[in-house]
Structure 1
Amino acid sequence: MNGSGNRARTAPNTALVAGLSLGAAVAGGMAFAQFAAAQTAPSGTAAAPAAPFPVAEVVVPEVSVTGARPNNTLQAPTGNVRLPGAVQDTPQTINVVPQEVLREQNVTTLEQALRNVPGITSTIGEGAGGVTGDQFRIRGFSAQNDVLVDGLRDFGSYQRDAFTYDNVQVLKGASGFAIGTSAIGGGINVNSRTPTLENRYSGVVTGGTGPYARATADINQRISETAAIRLNVMGQSSSLVGRDDIDTRRWGIAPSIAFGLGTPTTFSVEYLHYHDVHTIDSGTPVLFRGANSIGRPAPEFGVRRANFYGIGNDRDDVDVDRLTARFAHSFGEWLTVSNDTRLSRVNRDTALTAPSCGRQSNTVTQANSCSGQFFRGLNPSLAYGGGSNGTYNQVNEAIQNLTTGIARFRTGPLRHELTTGVDISHETVDRTGFSYVPTRPGVTLLNSETNNGLRLSTGPANNQRDTSLTNLGLFANERLYLNHQLSVFGGFRWTKFDLDYQAGTPGLAPSQNFNVSDSYFDPRAGVIFEPVPNQTYYYSYSSSTTPPGTFFTTLPSTAANFRSTFEPERNTTHEVGAKIGLFGNRLGATAALFQSEKGNALVQDPNDANSVLQTGDRQRIRGLELGLTGRITPEWNVNAAYAYLDSETTRSATPANLGKRVQFVPLHSASLWTTYDIAPDTPWNVTLGAGVIYRSKVSLTLDNVAEAPDTVSLDALVQHKINQNLTVRVNGYNLTNRTNYEGLFNGRATVAAGRTVLVSLAADF
């Protein structure tokens, strides 16, 4: 890349935001201290509640937890301080991918972990917008900015590695209260491995087809009676099975230290440095057999599925630096105050080539179109879609501070659980783009390898986009216990959103200069019925808001047609569900019926691939989710989930979209992972595992004229514990070598890996 591409601007308001954040923390602590004083008896001794409070004790952050893991994931804490208690107590669907499953499946990325969660799809992203990396949709709605780590936002867009993961949780439904801005379909929260008071040293080396090589280490050391340190490291070099020129080189290191473990006051600090260089695969083009046919990815018509249509510049070169400090103090059993702060910087140099075979609307143009030529036996040239771009450098710098208080107290016969706090963040995104010199050469549908490995030079910077965004959130939620079994809850998040955006050619006056400032409420409410401790039945209403301007830098087409009259996208979810523990709580079962609706949807302009329009479009998802997690017997473990999503565009300014399925939403999706331990605790022990991932066909366009077919992946595990310290594991993925598609976009889809076999040796001391 041209040297000028490595620019990075320090956020001008970082000191101000840091001051505001610390001020919010102090103010929050003083407020809760005063509240504690108000609940204290005249003698100075805290008044005890008349009866035990029927919810799980809250420990924030969760750095002092040792011992056995819960039998089923309903008993696990949510990992989000704004949602105290366990998954069982939370009146929303939460899918959990536990550490046991991550380990058995040899999960290495967030995307791989989320294959266990039905109702989530991945999109390729648009290179021109800088949103390549992890791009997920939850229940059909974008979760671009809705990835959290330990309850705080993980800023930036990049492909996340799982080497520090303890478990992964997905909160379903509108979640403005629990996550903040956006969170239309829900949010993803990763809970990290943090220091414990148990000395433990472990490592895993893995090799296999591709070729594939990876090594990780996890070291936890107790350094005093109440303090410990932990170190996670990772290195990987791999190529994707069955694909041309798709490779990954990455490494990472994450040290952390915690104080006060097992005491009322805890403090921890974690630092992460992560470097990742991998090929960006923008997918294979969609072909149309006839003028009125449904388009499908080219491999469905016999085109070689290994084809990579990019050039050597199509790389994502990412450096992530993230520092997190977490503090919590418990004033007895009735009040906990926490303050969490995160600083992060994500520096990306990246580029993408988006091939296109075009679309046809009538039989006159069909014969000579790209698809028409292919079906006549020719080898057509591909066009480069609007997502194609030259290289660019993008720097995200951010700070977030979250102060939360959780109080449990009585007013007469009524018991209360009050969660309240302040969430403030500031983020800058600076992007500089460059053109190719010479321009990218053409490529044909059948001979993609002509450009593989080609690296082009770049000229001077030709575009610049700068965004400064500040979010201030105040949130509160009250759960009122009417008796031991019945409770109601209600809460809200109030957000003040301020954004400044400039774009244009470097050295010239900005061609776009916008300021968006707005405030809005996101309420939530519902009823919870718990006839016995291991049964929860609930109704919940929740909401979320995405203000205009949220994606200006990462999706500049939203800025091209911006008007000051644009209204925020708003989403609401109604959900009725049940969470039940079975077999002495070894097994957890869940069921939920829901309806989610998004209004003021942003849609792509059908006449301009580079423009997004704000409309009054309304999209609705109605569905059913079922889950089973835990142990049927002590030897037989199962994690299974199913989602039925009936999606429809119920109102649209574009007649062709009205009544159609919502883009990228499967009607059916399911996952199953089950293992059985044979002769455990003997020299002849063997663990056998099997899994299936299924997703029905999905539409690639709003008018449903193109689709990606069903996805079916059969996976398996054979594991043997050699002795107390060594375990050998063999994993097989996509054992039927089926052509599946994992990344989706308008007119494109990426082909997933073919049959893959990995062998791992794990050491644990």
Structure 2
Amino acid sequence: MQQTRSLRALSPAAFGASVAMAMMGGASAPSLAQGTPEAAPAAASEAISLPQIDVGSTVPTSPANPLRGTTGLGRLQGPIQDIPQSVAVVPREVLQQQNTTTLEQALRNIPGITSTVGEGGGGVQGDQLRIRGFNAQNDIFSDGLRDFGSYSRDTFDTEDVAVFFGPSGITFGAGSVGGAVNLNSRMPFLGSLTAGEASGGSGSFFRGTADVNRQIGESSAVRLNVMGQTRSNIVERDHQDGTRFGFAPSVAFGLGTNVKLTLQYLYYEYDQTTDTGVPTITNPTTGQIVVPTEAGLRRANWYGSMNDRDKVTLNRVTARAEWNATDWLTFYNDTRASFLDRDFAYTILSCTAACATNFFRGSSFPANYTVSGASGPYSQSTMGLQNITTGVARFTTGSLRHELTAGLDAWYESTDRDNLMYSPARPGGNLWNPVQAFEYFPTVPSTAASATRNIDTTTVALFASDRIWFTPEISLLAGLRWSSFQTDYTAYGPGTPVTSLNSTTTAVDPRAALIYEPNPNLSFYASYSTSSSPPGNNFAVLPGQANFNNTQLDPERNTIYELGAKWTVLEQRLGLTASLFRIEKDNARTTDPLTGSTVATGDKQQNQGLELGAVGRITPQWLVSARYTYMDSEITEAGTVASAALVGNQVQFVPRNALALWTTYDLFPDQRYNLTVGGGVTYRSSVYLNNQNTAEVPDNFSLDAMVSHRIGPNWRAQFNIYNITNELNYDMLFTNRVVPSPGRSFVLSLSGTF
């Protein structure tokens, strides 16, 4: 029988409402501490630069040159310029110019990241990312804390988005093979702001946002971000309707003092159609696996039914405290509680040999597909708790200067899932002519042995690192993280015994880097770091992986070697970056595309390459965000006889070349007839969908543009057009299916700031 948890006894909606009321009701409370602000601690060769301030406003924003900004994480000190790791940031200004609304859209500015479509047996959609070709499903953070659960994230309360490339076990913990993504939220500040935006565009898209900040005391402020959105279609994808709503109140005490406390509550919900795209098909004549939309199938075809919905409700509260105890010692304490409820249904197609034969005979022959039983509906609740306590001490021993960072990271995630099934089973249809879009198929509780599932994951970790300056120019960073992982899994069905599984693993992940800073604007580094992915790490988001064999797997081990340089030029307006990297992955796992079961192949995989970036302002009027990635991936060693033939193949989902360019120019900025014009290109070379390298998706190319006009001191009108050439692209990929991207579309928006 399912156990009752006291934390779950409280309704998430009631929990969220009470938190929001408490936060806003406590806005008039006095600040935690008064006093004169202490100066920010010096970095290796200069003081940390303050955030950029918008002209005519007191709103703190992320700098156009990300190298002059900070990560916002207590456990990663100093400006990004000084961090010996490749870090790519999408500043708020770029997000605004592109009219970005989702995390997936924001990450198009960072090449080397691909999105994958929901996996079978797990029903996972939402933000499924692969960074440098490696799964980053569990590696999405906000404000440095885990963003529990799987869902599609909105950016209405996001200040900027950062990607930390490479295994980052010491900073982020389990997983983080290709890297980790962190969204920094908009937080209260001392000053006033009233801002709003209304947008409308293709597919009957309508969206409104509001951002209000008020200073309520000498060192306290409140802020509220609100969003509402609706659409009835996506260009070149049929029947893709959806609505979104969210609000995020926050309050801060002690701003500018030695003790600061920030509380934030996020309520977010959406109801949208799911889309698993089209299945890959084997050509019976050539034996080649092809994407049918490349062989004449209409790109807008959607094969779902009225059942196919993704309904999500998120209630999340975050508390972040910072205490500058002395001029050399600072403590950080970050805590999060999150409740995510999800009702989900989607359709996975299979095209048999008979289906494929008829498909390649032409549209006059019915290519009858079948519906996979792995795509049954489910309802799921995820609760997550996390606390990270960090201390940073700056001191000297003899002639050596130190920056010691140490802390404790503990988190708990619990997922309850109830599966449904179609009764009778869903029928198939004709690939050329889907007709089920307006049908509803009855469902009943599942009778499977795993109809009800409970997954509990507990992790406790200790981390410590010390950066030692031998001279003002040369320093060494060394540290490690010790982690203990425990996963408990139970499953049962009508008349079936309870299946109980558990996995307990420990891992140690070191990090070391040598840093050379000849001047405050230039740094070179050579770094080494690792991360570990324990068995059971993905049970909460991919419950189809849960079986006894998977609990006995050895952890995946991931190692990165990186050489890099960061250079700030043009009076600190522009940041240039370059890095050479090699990631080695041992005991790689593979997931069956239909069952979701995961097995350890024992294979060794390698991805090495080059990254180049230029982000900031070439002139005060000319903004640029340009990044290029070259990746050479390879399966270097087989762990089984069955996988021996894969040695030398490329790793799935890893493009060899990827580019993201966005640039704008302000014309006549001080005149009534001012304009900001710009545009960009995103490109990704072809990728293989499997390690056998037998299924390939062609290149992606999208050309976008924008123009905006400031109307007086407070208003701005903006027009964005995306995929101008209406290319057939694929942004969401999986082993046996892909989702075509939207076609040419536009958005017109009007915003005001007061």
- TM alignment of 1:190-339, pairs within 5 A: 190-238=183-231, 239-290=233-284, 292-339=286-333
How many residues are matched?
712
Identity %: 46
Partner of residue 461, structure 2: 473
Question: For 2:722 and 2:187, how far apart are their aligned partners in 1?
Answer: 30
Question: For 1:312 and 1:264, how far apart are their aligned partners in 2?
Answer: 55
Partner of residue 728, structure 2: 739
Question: For 1:473 and 1:211, how far apart are their aligned partners in 2?
Answer: 48
Q: What are the Cα deviations for residues 502-539 of structure 1, in whole angstroms up to 9, with x where unaligned?
A: 123145312x3211111110100010000000001000
Question: For 1:696 and 1:168, how far apart are their aligned partners in 2?
Answer: 24
SS in structure 1 at match of 2:429: coil
TM-score, length-scaled by structure 2: 0.91
Is the Cα–Cα contact under 8 Å of residues 9 and 430 in structure 1 kept in the other structure? no
Question: For 1:626 and 1:692, how far apart are their aligned partners in 2?
Answer: 16
Question: For 1:307 and 1:273, how far apart are their aligned partners in 2?
Answer: 33
Amino acid at match of 2:221: A
Is the Cα–Cα contact under 8 Å of residues 352 and 387 in structure 1 kept in the other structure? no
Q: What are the Cα deviations for residues 273-293 of structure 1, in whole angstroms up to 9, with x where unaligned?
A: 001111110111212334554
Runs of at least 5 residues in structure 2 that lack an aligned partner in the other structure: 11-38
Is the Cα–Cα contact under 8 Å of residues 58 and 84 in structure 1 kept in the other structure? no
Question: For 2:314 and 2:68, how far apart are their aligned partners in 1?
Answer: 33
Q: Tell me the CA shift for residue 8 of structure 1.
A: 10
Partner of residue 597, structure 2: 611
SS in structure 2 at match of 1:600: strand
Partner of residue 32, structure 2: none
Question: For 1:392 and 1:49, how far apart are their aligned partners in 2?
Answer: 50
Provide the aligned C-alpha RMSD in A: 2.3
Partner of residue 122, structure 1: 115
Distance 1:352 1:127, change over 3 A: farther
Partner of residue 10, structure 1: 5
Question: For 2:512 and 2:473, how far apart are their aligned partners in 1?
Answer: 17
Q: Is the counterpart of residue 494 in structure 1 residue 488 in structure 2?
A: no
Question: For 1:51 and 1:152, how far apart are their aligned partners in 2?
Answer: 25
Q: What are the Cα deviations for residues 599-633 of structure 1, in whole angstroms up to 9, with x where unaligned?
A: 11111359x75532212111110110000011111
Q: Tell me the CA shift for residue 384 of structure 1.
A: 2.4
SS in structure 2 at match of 1:243: coil
Question: For 1:11 and 1:155, how far apart are their aligned partners in 2?
Answer: 19
- TM alignment of 1:573-652, pairs within 5 A: 573-604=560-591, 609-652=595-638
SS in structure 2 at match of 1:299: helix
Is the Cα–Cα contact under 8 Å of residues 583 and 606 in structure 2 kept in the other structure? yes
Decide which of 529, 535, 546 is 2:522's aligned counterpart: 535
Is the Cα–Cα contact under 8 Å of residues 55 and 89 in structure 1 kept in the other structure? no
Q: Tell me the CA shift for residue 149 of structure 1.
A: 0.4
Decide which of 487, 493, 503 is 1:505's aligned counterpart: 493
Q: Tell me the CA shift for residue 242 of structure 1.
A: 1.5
Distance 1:408 1:650, change over 3 A: same
Q: Is the counterpart of residue 686 in structure 1 residue 680 in structure 2?
A: no
SS in structure 2 at match of 1:115: helix
Q: Tell me the CA shift for residue 582 of structure 1.
A: 1.1
Q: Is the counterpart of residue 545 in structure 1 residue 540 in structure 2?
A: no
Is the Cα–Cα contact under 8 Å of residues 126 and 387 in structure 1 kept in the other structure? no
Decide which of 325, 341, 356 is 2:350's aligned counterpart: 356
Is the Cα–Cα contact under 8 Å of residues 427 and 470 in structure 1 kept in the other structure? yes
Partner of residue 706, structure 1: 695
Question: For 1:718 and 1:139, how far apart are their aligned partners in 2?
Answer: 32
Q: What are the Cα deviations for residues 185-230 of structure 1, in whole angstroms up to 9, with x where unaligned?
A: 1100000000001200000000011111000000001101100000
Distance 1:655 1:609, change over 3 A: farther
Amino acid at match of 1:176: G
Question: For 1:744 and 1:274, how far apart are their aligned partners in 2?
Answer: 26
Distance 1:760 1:105, change over 3 A: same
Q: Tell me the CA shift for residue 655 of structure 1.
A: 3.0
Q: Tell me the CA shift for residue 50 of structure 1.
A: 13
Q: Tell me the CA shift for residue 59 of structure 1.
A: 10
Decide which of 400, 407, 411 is 1:414's aligned counterpart: 400
Q: Tell me the CA shift for residue 371 of structure 1.
A: 1.8
Is the Cα–Cα contact under 8 Å of residues 561 and 612 in structure 1 kept in the other structure? no
Q: Tell me the CA shift for residue 432 of structure 1.
A: 0.6
Q: Tell me the CA shift for residue 385 of structure 1.
A: 3.5
Q: Tell me the CA shift for residue 128 of structure 1.
A: 2.5
TM-score, length-scaled by structure 1: 0.90
SS in structure 2 at match of 1:372: helix
Partner of residue 501, structure 2: 514
Q: Which moved more, 1:373-382 or 1:649-658?
A: 649-658
Is the Cα–Cα contact under 8 Å of residues 324 and 330 in structure 2 kept in the other structure? yes
Q: Tell me the CA shift for residue 379 of structure 1.
A: 2.2
Is the Cα–Cα contact under 8 Å of residues 49 and 68 in structure 2 kept in the other structure? no
Q: Is the counterpart of residue 82 in structure 1 residue 71 in structure 2?
A: no
Amino acid at match of 1:722: I
Amino acid at match of 1:225: E
Is the Cα–Cα contact under 8 Å of residues 55 and 85 in structure 1 kept in the other structure? no
SS in structure 1 at match of 2:357: helix
Partner of residue 23, structure 2: none
Decide which of 433, 436, 441 is 1:451's aligned counterpart: 436
Amino acid at match of 2:610: L
Decide which of 67, 90, 94 is 1:97's aligned counterpart: 90
SS in structure 2 at match of 1:91: coil
Q: What are the Cα deviations for residues 26-63 of structure 1, in whole angstroms up to 9, with x where unaligned?
A: xxxxxxxxxxxxxxxxxxxxxx9999863545999x9x
Q: Tell me the CA shift for residue 71 of structure 1.
A: 4.2
Partner of residue 756, structure 1: 745
Amino acid at match of 1:459: V
Question: For 1:705 and 1:584, how far apart are their aligned partners in 2?
Answer: 50
Distance 1:228 1:357, change over 3 A: same
Distance 1:587 1:720, change over 3 A: same
Question: For 1:446 and 1:49, how far apart are their aligned partners in 2?
Answer: 63
Decide which of 475, 483, 499 is 2:471's aligned counterpart: 483
Q: Tell me the CA shift for residue 490 of structure 1.
A: 0.5
Q: What are the Cα deviations for residues 271-325 of structure 1, in whole angstroms up to 9, with x where unaligned?
A: 0000111111011121233455432321101100000011111110000000001
Question: For 1:67 and 1:97, how far apart are their aligned partners in 2?
Answer: 16
Partner of residue 426, structure 1: 412
Question: For 1:506 and 1:397, how far apart are their aligned partners in 2?
Answer: 25
Question: For 2:161 and 2:728, how far apart are their aligned partners in 1?
Answer: 27
Question: For 1:563 and 1:344, how far apart are their aligned partners in 2?
Answer: 27
